[in-house]
Amino acid sequence: MSRKKILHIGDPLLRAVSHPVKKFDLRLAMIVRDMGETMYGADGIGLAAPQIGLMRRLIVIDLYDEEGLRVFVNPDIIKAEGEVSLTEGCLSVPGRRGCVTRPELVTVRYQDIKGNVHELSAEGLLARALQHEIDHLNGVLYVDLMDYEVFEEEEEEEEEEALPQASEA
Ligand code: CO
């Protein structure tokens, strides 16, 4: 197992479009393991493969709930509804947070680590994390979409509306 270096904003790989995963083999399982370890090591709730320089359509999310590590291979948003503004952070944009308006509910079609196809409808923090991570696969960072930068003092005042502190992805 190994923890990988997380690329930071300014690195051109974060702006590239990732390629579909085609092989559901042992190597994929090892990449997922490394991504999990890297995400946990950085106290994140999500990580996309391009954040560690791997240009593959692969994301991991862990909301520290009973579900544990969630793996989404070749994820696509096939339905989006509503609108909600929430504070986001990103492991590739250290020290900053911003308010981003996105759809409130999304349905995602994805493959699991064995290649089986699934669909998942999500709301709340999971819907937000999925959209944030899938953006990474297309070279998009939350700072491209944010309504305004959120500073720490402001966030304390708006604490009730803010996401949990460990929400970097
Ligand atoms: Co991110």
pLDDT tens track for 13-26: 999 999 999 999 99
User: To 10 degrees, the CA torsion angle through 13, 119, 30, 54?
Assistant: -10
**Which residues, in sequence order, are CB contacts of 23 under 8 Å at separation 6+?**
none
Number of domains present in the structure of the chain: 1
pTM of the predicted model over 0.85: yes
Residue 51, in any domain of the structure: yes
Spatial distance between the Cα atoms of 78 and 57, rounded to a whole number of angstroms: 16
- Catalytic, 133? Answer yes
Q: Judge whether residue 40 has pLDDT over 70.
A: yes
Residue 92, in any domain of the structure: yes
Output the CA 107–ligand 1 centroid distance in Å. Answer: 20
Query: Which of 80-94, 114-128, 147-161 shows the lowest per-residue confidence on average (mean pLDDT)?
Result: 147-161
Residue 7, in any domain of the structure: no
Residue 164, in any domain of the structure: no
Residue 165, in any domain of the structure: no
Range of the domain at 135: 12-157
Q: Judge whether residue 79 has pLDDT over 70.
A: yes
User: Residue 168 has what pLDDT?
Assistant: 82
CA-based nearest residue to 49, from 76, 23, 16, 88: 16
CATH code assigned at 129: 3.90.45.10
Spatial distance between the Cα atoms of 119 and 162, rounded to a whole number of angstroms: 28
Render pLDDT for 126-158 as a digit per residue (tens, 0 to 9). Answer: 999 999 999 999 999 999 999 999 997 655 555
Residue 1, in any domain of the structure: no
User: Residue 154 has what pLDDT?
Assistant: 58
Residue 68, in any domain of the structure: yes
Mean pLDDT of the chain: 93
Q: Judge whether residue 80 has pLDDT over 70.
A: yes
Q: At 9, is the secondary structure helix, strand, or coil?
A: coil
| Mean pLDDT value of segment 87-113 | 97
Backbone angles phi, psi at 114, to 5 degrees: -100, -5
Residue 71, in any domain of the structure: yes
Q: Judge whether residue 93 has pLDDT over 90.
A: yes
Output the CA 25–ligand 1 centroid distance in Å. Answer: 26
User: Residue 163 has what pLDDT?
Assistant: 52
Side chain identity at residue 23, one-letter code: K
Q: Which of 88, 133, 152, 155 is catalytic?
A: 133
